[in-house]
Every structure is written in structure tokens, then in C-alpha cells.
Amino acid sequence: IGDLPFYINHDSADVWANPHFFSLLQDGAIYKMAGVPPDYFSADGQLWGMPVYNWEALQKDGFKWWLNRIAKNLEWFNLLRLDHFRAFYNFWEVDASESTAVNGKWNFAPGAELLQLLSKSFPEMPFIAEDLGDVQQEVFKLRDEFSLPGMKVLQFAFGADMPVSPHILHHHSPNFIVYTGTHDNNTTRGWYNQDLSSAGKTRLNRYFSQVVSEEQIAALLIKAAYASVAKIAIIPIQDLLNLGGDCRTNIPGTAKDNWSFKILFDSCNSELASQLRHSVTLYNRNA
């Protein structure tokens, strides 16, 4: 599985070779910057330091740049996770002079037209829609129009809306990918200790009909993910090893000390392999 970022770095070959496809000033500086408004991860939103697209220019060119980009990635991967899928419908843009993402605005993108072209070029549509966050129903409709699998994240399932949460186990359906947490989440053990409220812990205990401990939480959510009807289950290595929040991969909205987590080779031992083999067999995930 490849992970395709939605946007392109400002200082990159793609931007400098095709400046007309990006929101730039005449001197090449960013005019409108990509990001997201305030959300679960950040009270100030996130400024990503990348220019948004000039969708009108891309559309006029028949989206050839996007089609070539996807084609090259599919030479390397069987599946592509389309990061920030909601931006195929609408995207948050902020003046490059802003210091936070608070003062931005939503603009619409011609994503349906682009996805229609992708479906003709790649009929199997080997994509995963990253459909997380404060997403409108129109984004889900766009996802479903092209039968793209979305994402279920169990760490998001135990808020006040638990009975109706799209992430809770009883609302999963086959055309999804289920995760305990993603690369942007805390580890499950860290989430339980640092992020989950006391009310959330009560809901979690009620849902699983047991008093769950810090030591048990990762194994419990891993079991739930494997038991889900979602067609693919993905478990971060930190959860398989029951590691705490100091071992998380990434903290969204920050630029320091991310993506540096490493494991020792002997951490992945025969006992862990046996546990995984048991779960794969028990929940028929080797079919």
C-alpha cells in the first residue's frame, strides 16, 4: 500500500516544472497555502506549507498531471491511500501570510471529474479514501460513487456519540479499512493514558463488558479490528508491541521529532508471530 499525499511540497520538481498548476505569486512564492481548520488534532488548525492547486489550469489540461502522478505510483504499489480525500470535494486554503490556519476558507474542487477519468484509466480503482476528520456527507457520497473503501479508526469510536459513531464496531461494513489508530494517532496505550477521557473509558468498559486496563487496551482493540467485517485490518507496530505514547509516529501540526520511531529486530519475535497467526485464522483474515 502506498500513501499518496494530496499536496506537493513547494520546493519540489513538480511545482517548479509546472508552476501554473499551483497557487503561486509571479515570483514563485506561495499565494494560497494548504491546510485544515481547527479540529481534533489542533486548536489552531494546520498550515502545511504547500501551495493549493490551480484547479482551473489542471482541468483545462485534462488532469494529465494527476493521471501521470497516479500511474507512476501504481508502478510501485498495489493499492494507493489517497490522503486528505475530502479535498477532492472541497479544500481549506489560507493566505500564505497567515501564522495559523484559523483564517482560511473552503473552496470546491472538481474531484468527481478527476475521479471519473481515473476510473477510465484504472478500472480496478485500486485506491483507499482517507475520509477522516470533520467531513461533509458530500465527501462520503463522492467516495461511495466510485466504490472507494474508506477508513474506520477504533480510537475515534468512544466519544459521546459512541452508539452512532461511524467508527464503532457495529457500524462497520465490508468496503472499509479498519485501524486501531493511524500514523497520526497516539499509540493505543498512549491514547488510553493521555487522550481518552474518564467518560470515554466508562463507555469503552460498557461496550466490551469488562473493566479495561492500560495493559489490556491495545490487545483489546487489535482483537476488535480483526473481528471487524472491514475487508482489511491494519495495526500499527507500536500497538502490536503494546508501546506507550512516547513511541507514537507523528503529532499532526508539529514539525519536530516525527517519523523517527524505530524498533529493534528482536521485538518481532515468534510469540508475536504466533498471536497474529491465531488472530488471522480465528477471524478468517487469510481468505
Q: In the numeric block, which cell numbers belong to residue 14?
A: 513538480
Among 83, 98, 113, 195, the one annotated catalytic:
83
Distance between CA 22 and CA 20 in Å, rounded?
A: 5
161 is catalytic: no
Cα 241–chain centre separation: 22
Distance between CA 40 and CA 133 in Å, rounded?
A: 8
> Whose CA is closest to 78, among 127, 142, 9?
127
Among 93, 131, 184, 239, the one annotated catalytic:
184
- 34, β-bridge pairs: 93
Q: In the numeric block, which cell numbers belong to residue 33?
A: 497555502
184 is catalytic: yes
CA distances from 109 to 48, 66, 93, 246, 271 (A): 18, 13, 12, 38, 49
- Assess contact for 106 and 91: CB atoms under 8 A: yes
What per-residue string of b and e applies to 215-227 under the rule 16 or more CB within 10 Å gives b? eebbbbbbebbbb
Distance between CA 239 and CA 186 in Å, rounded?
A: 10
Among 93, 130, 131, 239, the one annotated catalytic:
130
83 is catalytic: yes
User: Catalytic residue positions?
Assistant: 83, 130, 184
